[in-house]
Chains A and B, each alone.
Chain A
Amino acid sequence: MPLNKDALLQVKGVKKYFDVSEGIFTTKKKYLKAVDNVNFSLKQGEILGIVGESGCGKSTLGNLIMQLENPTEGEIIFDGIELSKLSAKELRRKRKDIQMIFQDPYSSLNPRMKVFDIVAEPLRTHKLASGTDLKKQVYDMLEIVGLNNKYANRYPHEFSGGQRQRIGIARALTLKPKLIVCDEPVSALDVSIQAQILNLLLKLQKEFQLTLIFIAHGIPAVKYISNRIAVMYLGKIVEIADKEQLLSNPKHPYTESLLYSVPVSHPKLRSNHEQSKLTGEMPSPVDPPPGCRFHTRCPYADEKCMEETPDLIETQDKEHYVACHYPLYRERVSNSDSVQAILD
């Protein structure tokens, strides 16, 4: 897919292979292809949701963007600068603009640091404030995320999961970053708290003009918050489109099955999409299946899918990219019997 030159973030052909060769004397190297040739770009102010099952490489992609890991191949261009080309010192300075919100609020806060110090650390690290100014900024930030100032001198273990996640958000926001990568920020929280945190993130996104990458393992969390959704399967993006477009008109069979894997509460609204329900396990990313990686679980796959790897190409709908030899059309989706007939 073409990349937008003015984008805030451009991910170009990024690959991350982990060496998992066994034994000292084996000459054949084995690689775990966690992220395999991923391309996308992100405009200022956009919220991109990245969805996929566990092990599809979405968290590794997040780590690559955060420069916590170096890509095996490819470029990550943020704000016009290729991050991997920066020296350690320049990168540390650049980190001010990219922050991260973590999945587990119980392990993301240092148990031996007070809330004030946790939120103040980014400011102190980049020497942006000190003394009363620092105090004011930290208190303001705590207020913005909905925490009382009087909690500043407490330790993390005195808070609930939702409050801890708010502390984590305050820490990510103190530097006023341009981009925030949220790695499953609500999946460890109670359902009632999830909505609060999502609303907070949306509010902050508007207030601070933030660009967000929102990683999640299911459509529901991403559906609420994102403008655009990318679906990942075994290290590759299989479909990327605007939220409405993707939800109402999924073109990749995997996206379709992810949508139908969400239980529908009303019996009459339940349709007979049994064949598009996902069965089986995701194959190992060490030896991904040849051709289209989804063919082992795809209800529509044929010989071509087993041999040729489909590219991520734009469909007749604008800005809707899919990597499938036989992209789905609305009629096929709505009438599953006719789909079966076509395949037969």
Chain B
Amino acid sequence: MKTNQLTFLKWLKMLGSSKTGSLGAIIILTVTFTASFASFIAPHDVYEVNLNAASLPPSWMDGGESQYVLGTDRLGRDLFSRVIYGSQISLLVGISAVIVAGVIGVPIGLISGYYGGFIDSFFMRIVDANIAIPVILIALFVLGFLNPNLIMFILVVGVATWYTYARVVRSEVLSLKEREFIKAARVTGVRNSVILIRHLLPNVTSSVIVVSTLSVATTIIIESSLSFLGLGPKAITWGALLSDGRDYLATSWWIATFPGIAITITVLGIILLGDWLRDVLDPHSHV
């Protein structure tokens, strides 16, 4: 296992040499850590209602109480604890939905771009149809009829957003397949499936990473919109907290602001880390 250790150290060293990459990694590690140990970190029970302490501002403001660092919502529940717990589902949903979308979209993009012709038209017409229907509408329809649990939610968002990957990968493959190294592989007698996996897939990873990191952000937003409509994953999520606070923006701005900040920081961290990952996976970057 010595080689494994070596490569891990090499990666760590490469991460250290990139400032933005390290920042992204630190943010993501912190958020993951918080999500994993939420029950130890959170100072209050997230469901504990205390009407005497309803709508308290953050502790550093006039009228704030030191035990409620980020203030409370209209039922007097501790916002800080709720934001900490919210990271669990938000992160899980954001990342899993992106994986589901990628697992569907990338192979379809590869096949569609490489084979062309009827197969390509077939998949691209499905993509066109998919774009024409808003994600929210698909989610409303499916989740409205079926039991809106967490897994169902992840699947629906993944299935509704796969087309971004398919389109990006397809357009990339269209130009790659005209390169001579693909011709060389065909001339050698390499099977099409192997060409797709060994020659095309590694060359589209950078675009896929860029799309995925941006998609995590979109997914968290979709999750918040659906939570607002009452079709969310029925749990404490940043999106749900955000929509809870929307009605009280004028009087208690903190209820919506802190989950919003949490989303922004997490998304930034994912984008920074993704950017670094894209650079590292490109053989041109390390000589």
Interface size class of A (residues with CB under 8 A): 20 to 34
List the A side residues contacting B189 at CB < 8 Å.
91-93, 95-96, 122, 125-126
Pairwise interchain contact A95-B187, C-beta atoms closer than 8 A = yes
The answer to whether the Cβ of A291 comes within 8 Å of any Cβ in the partner chain is no
The answer to whether the Cβ of A109 comes within 8 Å of any Cβ in the partner chain is yes
Pairwise interchain contact B188-A110, C-beta atoms closer than 8 A = no
List the A side residues contacting B198 at CB < 8 Å.
113
Interface string of A202-246 (1 = CB under 8 A from B): 000000000000000000000000000000000000000000000
Of all chain A residues, the one with the shortest Cβ separation from B187 is A100
Interface string of B198-214 (1 = CB under 8 A from A): 11001100000000000
List the B side residues contacting A108 at CB < 8 Å.
179-181, 183-184
The answer to whether the Cβ of A158 comes within 8 Å of any Cβ in the partner chain is yes
Pairwise interchain contact A107-B190, C-beta atoms closer than 8 A = no
Minimum CB–CB distance for B204 against chain A, Å: 10
Contacts of A96-122 to chain B: CB distance below 8 A: 96, 98-100, 102-104, 107-113, 121-122
Pairwise interchain contact A68-B186, C-beta atoms closer than 8 A = yes
Pairwise interchain contact A92-B283, C-beta atoms closer than 8 A = no
Of all chain B residues, the one with the shortest Cβ separation from A63 is B183
The answer to whether the Cβ of A304 comes within 8 Å of any Cβ in the partner chain is no
Q: How far is the CA of A22 from the CA of B4 in the complex (A)?
A: 58
The answer to whether the Cβ of B137 comes within 8 Å of any Cβ in the partner chain is no
Known A102-B180, A107-B181, A109-B181: A68·B188 in contact at CB below 8 Å:
no
Minimum CB–CB distance for A68 against chain B, Å: 6
Pairwise interchain contact A107-B188, C-beta atoms closer than 8 A = no
List the B side residues contacting A147 at CB < 8 Å.
none
Known A92-B191, A103-B180, A107-B180: A157·B283 in contact at CB below 8 Å:
yes
The answer to whether the Cβ of A320 comes within 8 Å of any Cβ in the partner chain is no
The answer to whether the Cβ of B1 comes within 8 Å of any Cβ in the partner chain is no
Q: How far is the CA of A95 from the CA of B198 in the complex (A)?
A: 19
The answer to whether the Cβ of B284 comes within 8 Å of any Cβ in the partner chain is yes
List the B side residues contacting A158 at CB < 8 Å.
287
Pairwise interchain contact A102-B183, C-beta atoms closer than 8 A = yes
Of all chain B residues, the one with the shortest Cβ separation from A91 is B189
The answer to whether the Cβ of B185 comes within 8 Å of any Cβ in the partner chain is yes
Of all chain B residues, the one with the shortest Cβ separation from A95 is B189
The answer to whether the Cβ of A155 comes within 8 Å of any Cβ in the partner chain is yes
Q: How far is the CA of A100 from the CA of B287 in the complex (A)?
A: 29
Minimum CB–CB distance for B284 against chain A, Å: 5
Of all chain B residues, the one with the shortest Cβ separation from A122 is B188
Of all chain B residues, the one with the shortest Cβ separation from A98 is B187
Q: How far is the CA of A98 from the CA of B184 in the complex (A)?
A: 11
Pairwise interchain contact A110-B183, C-beta atoms closer than 8 A = no
The answer to whether the Cβ of A129 comes within 8 Å of any Cβ in the partner chain is no
Contacts of B217-259 to chain A: CB distance below 8 A: none
Minimum CB–CB distance for B95 against chain A, Å: 25
Pairwise interchain contact B283-A121, C-beta atoms closer than 8 A = no
Pairwise interchain contact A157-B203, C-beta atoms closer than 8 A = no
Which interface residue of B185, B187, B202 has the most chain A CB atoms within 10 A? B187
List the B side residues contacting A91 at CB < 8 Å.
189
Minimum CB–CB distance for B287 against chain A, Å: 6
Minimum CB–CB distance for A267 against chain B, Å: 41
Q: How far is the CA of A187 from the CA of B125 in the complex (A)?
A: 42
The answer to whether the Cβ of A178 comes within 8 Å of any Cβ in the partner chain is no
Q: How far is the CA of A102 from the CA of B183 in the complex (A)?
A: 9
Pairwise interchain contact B180-A171, C-beta atoms closer than 8 A = no
Which of B187, B190, B199, B283 contacts A68, CB < 8 Å? B187
Known A93-B189, A102-B180: A110·B284 in contact at CB below 8 Å:
no
Pairwise interchain contact A121-B180, C-beta atoms closer than 8 A = no
List the B side residues contacting A103 at CB < 8 Å.
180
Q: How far is the CA of A16 from the CA of B49 in the complex (A)?
A: 80
Q: How far is the CA of A287 from the CA of B287 in the complex (A)?
A: 51
The answer to whether the Cβ of A66 comes within 8 Å of any Cβ in the partner chain is yes
Pairwise interchain contact B185-A121, C-beta atoms closer than 8 A = yes
Contacts of B143-200 to chain A: CB distance below 8 A: 179-181, 183-191, 194, 198-199
List the B side residues contacting A155 at CB < 8 Å.
283-284
Pairwise interchain contact A125-B190, C-beta atoms closer than 8 A = yes
Of all chain B residues, the one with the shortest Cβ separation from A168 is B184
Pairwise interchain contact A110-B199, C-beta atoms closer than 8 A = yes
List the B side residues contacting A157 at CB < 8 Å.
283-284
Known A92-B189, A92-B191, A126-B189: A102·B184 in contact at CB below 8 Å:
yes
The 8 closest A-B pairs by CB, nearest first: A95-B189, A108-B180, A112-B202, A92-B189, A155-B283, A102-B180, A107-B179, A110-B181
Beyond the given pairs A112-B203, A158-B287, 7 more chain A to chain B contacts, judged by CB atoms under 8 angstroms and listed by A's residue number, are A102-B180, A103-B180, A107-B181, A108-B180, A111-B283, A125-B191, A157-B283
A-B contact pairs, 14 of them (CB 8 A): A66-B187, A95-B189, A104-B180, A107-B179, A107-B180, A108-B179, A111-B284, A112-B203, A113-B198, A113-B202, A122-B189, A155-B283, A157-B283, A175-B188
